[in-house]
Structure 1
Amino acid sequence: MKETQFERFAFQPFIMEAIKELRFYKPTEIQERIIPSILRGESVIGQSQTGTGKTHAYLLPIIEKIDPEREAVQAVITAPTRELATQIYHEVLKITKFCPSDRLITARCFIGGTDKQKALEKLKIQPHIVVGTPGRINDLIREQALNVHTATMLVVDEADLMLDMGFIIDVDQIAARMPKELQMLVFSATIPEKLRPFLKKYMENPKYVHVAPKQVTAEKIEHVLVPLRSRDKVKLLYDMLVAYNPYLAIVFTNTKKMADELADSLVEKGLKIGVLHGGLSPRERKKMMKQIRDLEFQYIVATDLAARGIDIEGVSHVINYELPRDLQFYIHRVGRTARAGYTGIAATIYEPSDQDAITKLEKMGIEFQHRDLVRGEWVDLPPWNRRSKRARQDGEIAPLLAQMKKPKQVKPGYKKKLLAEIEKQKRRLRRLKKR
């Protein structure tokens, strides 16, 4: 393999070996901008969309800074969901497995819904790196089993989701047990106002890095709108899934109840369906994630639990059975596909009541194709909002037409100039339409 551009960070040889194994060649923008700051010991706030490489932006420098000879917790990494925490932990192991045998770096994952007694057993020897959900980590600290007062690095991943799910209190309590000179690394897709008091409490002059998306979603996603019209919605979805014949498709609903009902309906139609939502027991969720990663399902019905941070490989299609109430989640949902340079399709079944939401998504920069499924074949349709566009265009020309009708005294040649202006407006609108 050709030399990697990560050489400039001067990582230890075992980390460079891991980078080559992971087939990382060029650092992403957030890695380029954040890794040097973390290596210097600075606190950092990194704001970037999903799929920008932020996990390795903090993992690589954290592992570089671990002293394997010091048998104590040196870094704590928190994530809002069990699946995301487990995923981060596996990424840690992909790097630490290259450690020299005399300088091993140990890591442990602690998440809710797992055997607490086993977790306590594992902590007879403190690991160098702790990854987990804030509730379980805080629980182990209160049991005096986990010693975080020795750790100088704390990661808060998906901080806005931590806030939404009410976990920021646990994170606050964890941080309060750590040294005053704490290097805090906060990563979030957005920085809500309610998060700022927490950041101010623990971070003095942090380096703030905002990687603005070059576009609101990945470049190779095709966004498709499919009108429901007066059809049966489950039947239309089934027909879409069969017509797309995806490598792996995630169908998003807004509630656990809808996810279960929809999955049952699709199973009745003969599809093998995986289900992923917060109502599953920890054991069921863990089993489901394993089955998904083992490609036991071609179709998954999920709530927005799966939209944030969980990296399910090979998702070729995302289908919005319902548009999310918070339109930012449209970005998170479709971010599950077209990852790592692959292409993807994000299809949305829409009804007239969804038109305001679609208009807002277009203002956010989403460009939709309008298609329908006719006898198993995809057919291109005129723009979904053609009537409203026509009304807007007519509205722009109407004042000029009204002026023509005014029976007032005007200068010579006025009517001719006005007709020319109307023609000019019509040409401009035609050009805009072609775009």
Structure 2
Amino acid sequence: MKSENFKRFDLKPFLIEALSHQGFTLPTEIQERLIPAIKNGRDVIGQSQTGTGKTLSFLLPILDKINSEKNEVQAVITAPTRELAGQLFDELKKILEFSPEGEEIQAKLLVGGTDRARAIESLKVQPHIIVGTAGRIGDLIDDQALHVYTATMLVVDEADQMLDMGFIADVDKVASRMAESLQMMVFSATIPEKLQPFLKKYMTDPRHVQVEPKHVTATKIEHRIVPLRHRDKISFVVDIAKSINPYLAIVFTNTKEQADEVADAMLSAGLNVERLHGGLQPRQRKQVMKQVKEVKVQYLVATDLAARGIDVKGVTHIINFNIPKDLDFYIHRVGRTARAGLDGVAFTIYEDHDQQAIEKLLKRGVPFTYYDFKQGNWVQLDRAPLGVPGKKKVNRTAVETTSKTKPKEQKRTGGKAVARAKSVKPGYKKKARFKKAKEDQRQRRINKKK
């Protein structure tokens, strides 16, 4: 089957063939709006969440513009982390497999944590496309091993994360060494104000396309929030992990210290677990990702380093040890599951101080359901504890309980269960006032007789 709808972009035949082989038939919204602009040499800003097809929106027009006869660097694609750069490179390789014989496009992955001398050796013949982290690319430019002055196309992927991690200066350094007629493509979930000076420095009248997903998260994700109450948090997350028996679950923590504590506890409980965070050496992180991709791990405990854009297939469950401070990361975390039309479940453990964050996520359209985990059973709550607003209607078929008896009707106040007030008939106040007036009148008559 041909990818007829992509033919409208007048792309090279091998690109259409690669798309057809991967089963892509319809362009996404961001592809529709950006591919023509990039082909025409325009600067672009693509603002979208993960899962909108942004990677192909820049890979396809860049590959269409590469001249394979020139043995020089023509495009540089930067990412904030080694893992993200590796993922972009993997997507690029899938397409390059279809480049025609004699017109092969060469690409190199350049990231930190790898042998620098070997990288220098591999650059004796300059590739057409560079994919990598800005720091390592800058180092190889300084070594005069990489010549980017010929490159006219630069992609800055996950720009807001680049800013957060302090890498925009490295990207600036790379951009300043590239061709004067530079076409810049910036992709980011958000465009912070602090990013504006960088954008204005290099971009001229950019086409800014903002794509909002139809749903804030995938429709096939079930979002369960679970109260911690009085329980030990690490022991509780281990209990939840044991109860789900996932194909692959990712447990997200806010800090690498928490990730280590949770991973150690899960290991002690006999679970097949690995950890992924910025405190690991590059070689260790690479090894962990290899094991995850080869399905040798059932549980991965990670910080938000793994949340942004890393496409790990087969994630059935997400467990949030805590709610991220930046609520956008909740969307990125749960976006690791329910991909390619599959189902997924996201559990979030919450405490009293998380109420405001939960209310904000509810307003964003996250469809939370309220559960508790008691004595090895999942019990759906008809309302959220601790005064958090929730759905009052309960799908009884989804409730798993150990008892068939219906609990007494209660309401929650300040986290304590109290008996619901007896129902009263309408107009009771008016009747009470009338009764009191009659009694007062009777008393006045008695006193007058006396």
Same fold (TM over 0.5): yes
CA shift for structure 1 position 235: 2.8
2:73, 2:130 within 8 Å by CA — same for their partners in 1? Answer: yes
Gaps of 5+ in 1: 393-400, 408-435
Aligned to 1:131, the other structure's residue is in SS state strand
Instruction: State which drifts further: 129-138 or 210-219.
Output: 210-219
Separation (CA, whole Å) in 1 of partners of 2:220 and 2:343: 5
Provide the residue aligned with 2:141 in structure 1: 141
Q: Which amino acid aligns with 2:353?
A: S
Gaps of 5+ in 2: 390-410, 414-426, 434-450
Aligned to 2:332, the other structure's residue is in SS state helix
Q: Residue 264 and residue 37 in structure 1: after superposition, are their counterparts in 2 closer, same or farther (change >3 A)?
A: same
- Deviations along 1:299-326, one digit per CA (max 9) or x if unpaired, are 1000010011111111111110111122
Provide the residue aligned with 2:399 in structure 1: none
- Deviations along 1:214-268, one digit per CA (max 9) or x if unpaired, are 2222222111111112223233222222222111110001111110111011100
Aligned to 1:34, the other structure's residue is in SS state helix
Q: Which amino acid aligns with 1:142?
A: D
Q: Which amino acid aligns with 1:171?
A: V
**Pair 1:184-2:184 in alignment:** yes
Provide the residue aligned with 1:113 in structure 2: 113
Q: Which amino acid aligns with 1:162?
A: M
Provide the residue aligned with 1:412 in structure 2: none
Provide the residue aligned with 1:90 in structure 2: 90
Q: How does 1:277-292 map to 2 (within 5 A)?
A: 277-292=277-292
CA shift for structure 1 position 4: 4.1
**Pair 1:233-2:241 in alignment:** no
Provide the residue aligned with 1:173 in structure 2: 173
**Pair 1:248-2:267 in alignment:** no
Separation (CA, whole Å) in 2 of partners of 1:65 and 1:274: 41
Q: Which amino acid aligns with 2:24?
A: F
Q: Residue 182 and residue 331 in structure 1: after superposition, are their counterparts in 2 closer, same or farther (change >3 A)?
A: same
Aligned to 2:136, the other structure's residue is in SS state helix
Relative to the length of structure 1, the TM-score reads 0.88
Provide the residue aligned with 1:196 in structure 2: 196
- Deviations along 1:45-82, one digit per CA (max 9) or x if unpaired, are 00000111101110011111100000000000000000
Q: Residue 184 and residue 317 in structure 1: after superposition, are their counterparts in 2 closer, same or farther (change >3 A)?
A: same
CA shift for structure 1 position 141: 0.7
Provide the residue aligned with 2:12 in structure 1: 12
Provide the residue aligned with 1:153 in structure 2: 153
Q: Aligned residues: percent identity? A: 59
Provide the residue aligned with 1:430 in structure 2: none
2:238, 2:265 within 8 Å by CA — same for their partners in 1? Answer: no
Provide the residue aligned with 1:103 in structure 2: 103
Q: Residue 204 and residue 377 in structure 1: after superposition, are their counterparts in 2 closer, same or farther (change >3 A)?
A: same
1:4, 1:24 within 8 Å by CA — same for their partners in 2? Answer: no
2:2, 2:16 within 8 Å by CA — same for their partners in 1? Answer: no
Provide the residue aligned with 1:75 in structure 2: 75
2:47, 2:210 within 8 Å by CA — same for their partners in 1? Answer: yes
Provide the residue aligned with 1:260 in structure 2: 260
Separation (CA, whole Å) in 1 of partners of 2:167 and 2:95: 28
Provide the residue aligned with 2:392 in structure 1: none
Separation (CA, whole Å) in 1 of partners of 2:172 and 2:92: 24
- Deviations along 1:142-171, one digit per CA (max 9) or x if unpaired, are 111111110110000000000001110011
Provide the residue aligned with 2:339 in structure 1: 339
Separation (CA, whole Å) in 2 of partners of 1:217 and 1:320: 15
Separation (CA, whole Å) in 2 of partners of 1:292 and 1:349: 24
Separation (CA, whole Å) in 1 of partners of 2:388 and 2:353: 15
Q: Which amino acid aligns with 1:17?
A: E
Provide the residue aligned with 2:447 in structure 1: none
RMSD: 2.1
Separation (CA, whole Å) in 2 of partners of 1:268 and 1:213: 40
1:255, 1:303 within 8 Å by CA — same for their partners in 2? Answer: yes
Matched pairs, number:
399
Separation (CA, whole Å) in 2 of partners of 1:217 and 1:78: 26
Provide the residue aligned with 1:367 in structure 2: 367
Separation (CA, whole Å) in 2 of partners of 1:5 and 1:379: 47
Separation (CA, whole Å) in 2 of partners of 1:404 and 1:209: 62
CA shift for structure 1 position 376: 2.6
Higher-helix-fraction structure: 1
Q: Which amino acid aligns with 1:282?
A: P
Provide the residue aligned with 1:299 in structure 2: 299
Provide the residue aligned with 1:428 in structure 2: none
1:47, 1:210 within 8 Å by CA — same for their partners in 2? Answer: yes
Q: Residue 3 and residue 139 in structure 1: after superposition, are their counterparts in 2 closer, same or farther (change >3 A)?
A: closer
2:76, 2:153 within 8 Å by CA — same for their partners in 1? Answer: yes
Q: Residue 388 and residue 72 in structure 1: after superposition, are their counterparts in 2 closer, same or farther (change >3 A)?
A: closer
- Deviations along 1:327-352, one digit per CA (max 9) or x if unpaired, are 22111111111122222111101111
2:3, 2:19 within 8 Å by CA — same for their partners in 1? Answer: no
Provide the residue aligned with 1:395 in structure 2: none
Q: Which amino acid aligns with 2:346?
A: A
Instruction: State which drifts further: 92-101 or 79-88.
Output: 92-101
